[in-house]
Structure 1
Amino acid sequence: MQKQNLKLPALLTDGMVLQRNEEIKIWGWSQPQQQVKVIFKNREYFSRANHKGEWFVILPEVKAGGPYDMKITTAGEKISISDILIGEVWLCSGQSNMELPMQRVKDRYAEEIKKAGNDQIREFKLPITYNFKEENEDIEGAGWKKVTQDTIRDFSAVAYFFAKKLNDKYEVPVGILNASVGGSPVEAWMSRKSLADYPVYLKMADEFSDTEKIQNAEAHNLEVNKEWAAKVHKNDQGLKNAPTYFDSAYDDSDWETVEIPGKFDQLNFANKNGVVWFRKELELTEAEAEKPSRLWLGRIVDADTAYVNGKRVGTVTYKYPPRKYKLKDGILKEGKNLIAVRVVVNNGQGEFVADKPYKLFTGENEIDLRGEWKYKVAAVIEEDKEEEIFIQWQPTGLFNGMISPLLNYKLKGICWYQGESNTGREEEYKDLFVKMIKLWRRRFKQGDLPFIYAQLPNFEPPEENEREIWAAFRNAQRDALKLKNTAMTINLDLGEWNDLHPLNKKDVAHRFYLAARNLAYGEELIYSGPKLKNLVKRKDRIILEFSNLAGGLNFKGDKLKGFELAAADKKFKKARAVLKNNKVIIYTEALKNPQYIRYAWKDNPKEANLYNQLDLPAGTFLEKI
């Protein structure tokens, strides 16, 4: 970077929030050896740029307050910063469940959004930025935003609800640094030095340090999507036909019927790729047709385009987002209306996901769209869509691009929601995650900076639940608690079996908030569910003691469930458990010499029902007896 004129990092701009009760670093660039003056709260601070043009000053601790102004001057140049608040600054980072914006949960939190407007809560959202050659000094294309009706939908939902709780409680400004990237694994958020024990990851980082490699990957991704779209379009009989399958004039009398929602196995389309069209007719009154309308089509795997009465009303190109389409006035009509949905399957797992809303809203009226639809296979493509290369997920890239530019900024603490992309690699994650926490603390130079992280929630269908991948990962997440000043929130009751991105972000944020009050603000309170403290083996039983009782242990349902025992062979069997005097008694009559005990050991442990009196659940664990 060529530093010729006075320049500040993107973080230091109008509307910024600075950490209260901490010395504050103000830094930037100018011409080498040039004197720089910073004026803040009627005091002057001086610095001289080094030979690289780098300069900084340290401001003394300031109590919460504002708004303030700041002026930075050199010979012939001046920068003014206005509307500065002093309060609490939290870094919220991770992957998509931290990144997920309020826009995505707008229907669940409609009243929250309607009431949003607080200039004491501000967010600095970093754009996705990666660098595999060096650590970035600054960020491009970002700035501070206040919570307003115009901005609330862009705020991270978890971060917003967390900040709102803090602001309500402590009545000070709260600034959020939002550095989160969907799909990112932990190794993307680590430096080269911290990955020294992982030569495979260093090799990957080296490969992407080559600009040509990145250009080739970008070209590959464009070509993959272009080729697949062309192939799908070319083979889609529904678009080639005259009239098209979405046209009301098309005769679908020979189409077969199917119950929606459901998997495409029932269409004889299991493990196949291509295009399947679906059609459904419904009658509307004149009054219904004239009201504002929305079409909700649950969630569809993989991509869909929806049509109503021959008009395209919306499209989503990948499987995770909900399908919620607002219809323009005049699309619906009195009498017969046609809904047509074109579904493109990329990886052999087509599906209208169950337990999602499939509805047509007309004003306050809801029409259930579940049930019988007509369908026709319009294209079968033999091969899977070729995989894209996600450059931003490669090792070191996000640390260099998104964390490094923040390292001079004082924080109160860190909230971390990540792990989905590392499931299946739990033993490696134990080491990587601890290394990452130590790295961030070392580089922020704030000692044992409070670090709060979310244990992954429940996921996958309970009735098909033989998977233990997430369970093993949740157990591995416990390992970081050995580090001082860390806290893990338990979210086993906040997931959705059919959605990697559960909508209940408010309760996730509440648990971050409880942990912050304890860890960062020194309040004596219980922020988590029962935590295993001790186990004692008796002749025919094992006695488990827990901390975080909050008045006592509790369970939901008719009896305590979710515990399993195993001998040395680790073949686990369900164990009978009872609650007595705030201890859990596990009876071992079915197993002569138990060696291991575990709890909530399924990806979606529906039976696990141990709670404390605050209605906070116990988390997954595995222990040797």
Structure 2
Amino acid sequence: MMARIVFLLLLNVLAFNFSKAQNVAETELTLAPVFSDHMVLQRNKPIKIYGNVASGTDVTVGFLGRIRTVTTDGSGKWSVTFPASKEGGPYDISVSTKNQEVNVRDILIGDVWLCSGQSNMAFALQDAKTGPEELAAGKFDYNLRLLKMSGTVSTGNAAWDSASLHKINQYKFFAGSWKTLDKSSAATFSAIGYYFGKQIKKETNVPIGLIQVALGGSPTESWIDRALLEQDQQFTGMLTDWQHSNLVMDWCRERAAKNISNAQSKDQKHPFQPGYNFQASIVPLTDFPIAGVIWYQGESNVFNVSLHEQLFEMLVKNWREKWGYAFPFYYVQLSSIERPNWPEFRDSQRKLLTTIPNSGMAVSYDFGDSLDVHPTQKKEVGERLALLALRDTYKKNVVAEGPVPEKATLTNGEIRIRFFNGKGFWSKQKNLLTKNNAPLTGFELLTENGKQMSANAKISGNEIVINVPAGERISTVLYAYKPFTRANLYNEAGLPASTFSIAVK
């Protein structure tokens, strides 16, 4: 009897302490997690500062010599908006109530780029081919800042404990704070994001903030608003029972099953689940203006090329609608590796450029690894993304794309393919070439009856000339259409042609 009384008293004490802690958390003055020392705010956009405290509290915010006071709503949320500002800094933000004060220091105003996707975007600088040399050089720019939103629970091949399962269900998966650029912060940050930001900062001299929100293995659908997916009946099975849906990659379902194998609830959530990463990481950022997005993802959707096309278009539209403007969206075409569907997927990504406005694609197959889905040459990929942004966002006169096929015509037994250099001032293609002047490789022909054959192709100025084998009726020219390819067509800027297919007229 005495033991029972002691047990009940202990329960009451624990409940009281939990309630007390909860009340303290609800009344504590906080800013949204994206606000911390060393942050970068987006220039030329109204600056919204927001957070939480007890409902009905007056909150005073000071920034750039201006003061705003607001009263929190019934849920304790508060926000104030300051006018758009040009680049500059460092500045401070002060936020106070009658009894509390929070200060955010060393703030820059510049351009904020969101770096998202799966493992190749998350691939750390320290592991990249050029990473150790870059870190050893120690040339870190004060005006380049990093916010790495890391997963707080590993999605490795292990079962989660109850605390991890609970955290995932609360959407408390991503966490991080802004850092100045130094050896420690750069080492574990996205290599592609780092090199992209470094190049943009060098060419524009504008402070740059990079936000990394990427998760290895995550499928496209995990980054889309679940409510949007629910509007399309074809995704019903994916949403109601995603762990058994053939619309979700086998590997993703198998890994999730392992992670949540200790779960007691049938509604246990997982970051590979449709809509999860959107809710956990994108929603908290949509009140925070950005300059644009760089994206490297697709490996977990390559099994279904046509489905990915729909999902990727949905994702870009979804994000732009949530932020409220059509920011640029630059993505990486998948690399090359000995796996099925990769040529078709790369070609599909190229075609999406025509259906997604204000987008650009960086080619990466020439840095591929036949066996490793994580090629280590990230510097070149980040810099190719930067070229797209420099040309299209910053309006610099640079060549940002390799040769783009314009037209393929059949005349007198030979096919001629004319190329141009994409958009911009330097769009007219002067000369085609191969890397190190090696023999041209990578071209194939597809006949009207579906037979695929290698092509005898040669360069003639800004055209490719292909002799048609006698008796063959050719419908399509294919380029870089092997899963792992050594195709080697470049332009004078040293940029490769994309994997492509083009109909012969």
**Could you say whether these structures have the same fold, taking a TM-score greater than 0.5 normalized by the shorter chain as the test?**
yes
User: Identical aligned pairs, as a percentage?
Assistant: 33
State whether structure 2 residue 458 is matched by structure 1 residue 578. yes
2:156 is aligned to none
SS of match in other structure, 1:592: coil
State whether structure 2 residue 35 is matched by structure 1 residue 12. yes
- Displacement after TM superposition at 1:554 (Å): 1.1
Mapped contact 2:151–2:175 kept (Cα < 8 A) = no
Mapped contact 2:408–2:503 kept (Cα < 8 A) = no
Q: 1:392 to 1:137 in 2, by over 3 A?
A: closer
2:410 is aligned to 537
Query: Which of the residues 183, 190, 199 maps onto 2:236?
Result: 199
> Which residue identity is paired with 1:220?
S
Mapped contact 1:517–1:523 kept (Cα < 8 A) = yes
1:335-382: CA deviation from partner (whole Å, max 9, x where unpaired) = xxxxxxxxxxxxxxxxxxxxxxxxxxxxxxxxxxxxxxxxxxxxxxxx
Mapped contact 1:135–1:400 kept (Cα < 8 A) = no
Q: 1:575 to 1:141 in 2, by over 3 A?
A: closer
Mapped contact 2:419–2:429 kept (Cα < 8 A) = no
SS of match in other structure, 1:178: strand
Query: Which of the residues 589, 599, 618 maps onto 2:497?
Result: 618
Mapped contact 1:188–1:393 kept (Cα < 8 A) = yes
Mapped contact 2:364–2:381 kept (Cα < 8 A) = yes
Query: Which of the residues 283, 288, 292 maps onto 1:413?
Result: 292
1:174 is aligned to 208
Q: Which ranges in structure 2 are unaligned for 5 or more consecutive residues?
A: 1-21, 154-164, 246-254, 422-427
State whether structure 2 residue 481 is matched by structure 1 residue 601. yes
- Displacement after TM superposition at 1:499 (Å): 2.0
SS of match in other structure, 2:184: coil
Q: 1:139 to 1:468 in 2, by over 3 A?
A: closer
2:186 is aligned to 152
Mapped contact 1:475–1:622 kept (Cα < 8 A) = yes
1:150-195: CA deviation from partner (whole Å, max 9, x where unpaired) = 3221221111111111222222221111001111111111111332
- Displacement after TM superposition at 1:507 (Å): 0.5
- Displacement after TM superposition at 1:75 (Å): 2.5
1:223-622 superposed matches below 5 A: 391-446=270-325, 448-460=326-338, 468-482=340-354, 483-548=356-421, 551-556=430-435, 557=437, 559-606=439-486, 608-622=487-501
Q: Normalised by the size of structure 1, how large is the TM-score?
A: 0.66
- Separation of aligned partners in 2, 1:406 and 1:73: 23
- Separation of aligned partners in 2, 1:589 and 1:111: 50
> Which residue identity is paired with 1:439?
N
Query: Which of the residues 261, 274, 297 maps onto 1:220?
Result: 261
> Which residue identity is paired with 1:522?
K
1:29 is aligned to 52
Aligned length: 445
Mapped contact 1:19–1:87 kept (Cα < 8 A) = yes
SS of match in other structure, 2:27: coil
SS of match in other structure, 2:300: helix
- Separation of aligned partners in 1, 2:294 and 2:271: 21
- Separation of aligned partners in 1, 2:114 and 2:170: 17
- Separation of aligned partners in 2, 1:218 and 1:133: 13
Q: 1:609 to 1:42 in 2, by over 3 A?
A: same
Mapped contact 2:118–2:218 kept (Cα < 8 A) = yes
SS of match in other structure, 1:61: coil
- Separation of aligned partners in 1, 2:433 and 2:99: 69
- Displacement after TM superposition at 1:10 (Å): 1.0
Mapped contact 1:29–1:53 kept (Cα < 8 A) = yes
1:76-116: CA deviation from partner (whole Å, max 9, x where unpaired) = 222111111111100000111110112223x7433310223
1:318 is aligned to none
Q: 1:132 to 1:76 in 2, by over 3 A?
A: closer
Q: 1:98 to 1:558 in 2, by over 3 A?
A: closer
Q: 1:591 to 1:478 in 2, by over 3 A?
A: farther
Q: 1:133 to 1:585 in 2, by over 3 A?
A: farther
Structure index of larger Rg: 1
RMSD of aligned alpha carbons: 2.9
1:590-617: CA deviation from partner (whole Å, max 9, x where unpaired) = 45321222111101112x2211011111
Moved more, 162-171 or 124-133: 124-133
- Separation of aligned partners in 2, 1:502 and 1:133: 32
- Displacement after TM superposition at 1:207 (Å): 9.6
- Displacement after TM superposition at 1:43 (Å): 0.9
Q: 1:215 to 1:585 in 2, by over 3 A?
A: closer
Q: Normalised by the size of structure 2, how large is the TM-score?
A: 0.81
1:111 is aligned to 133
- Separation of aligned partners in 1, 2:169 and 2:278: 8
1:264-292: CA deviation from partner (whole Å, max 9, x where unpaired) = xxxxxxxxxxxxxxxxxxxxxxxxxxxxx
Moved more, 136-145 or 403-412: 136-145
> Which residue identity is paired with 1:592?
E
- Displacement after TM superposition at 1:136 (Å): 8.0
> Which residue identity is paired with 1:531?
V
- Separation of aligned partners in 2, 1:132 and 1:519: 43
- Separation of aligned partners in 2, 1:479 and 1:48: 49
Q: Which ranges in structure 1 are unaligned for 5 or more consecutive residues?
A: 209-213, 223-388, 461-466
- Displacement after TM superposition at 1:418 (Å): 0.9
Mapped contact 2:36–2:178 kept (Cα < 8 A) = yes
1:102-142: CA deviation from partner (whole Å, max 9, x where unpaired) = 2223x743331022333322111112269999998987641
1:24-55: CA deviation from partner (whole Å, max 9, x where unpaired) = 11111222233322101211123232222222
State whether structure 2 residue 104 is matched by structure 1 residue 81. yes
SS of match in other structure, 2:482: coil
SS of match in other structure, 1:151: helix
Q: 1:24 to 1:219 in 2, by over 3 A?
A: closer
Instruction: Give the 4+ runs in structure 1 shifted more than 4 A.
Output: 129-140, 205-208, 214-217
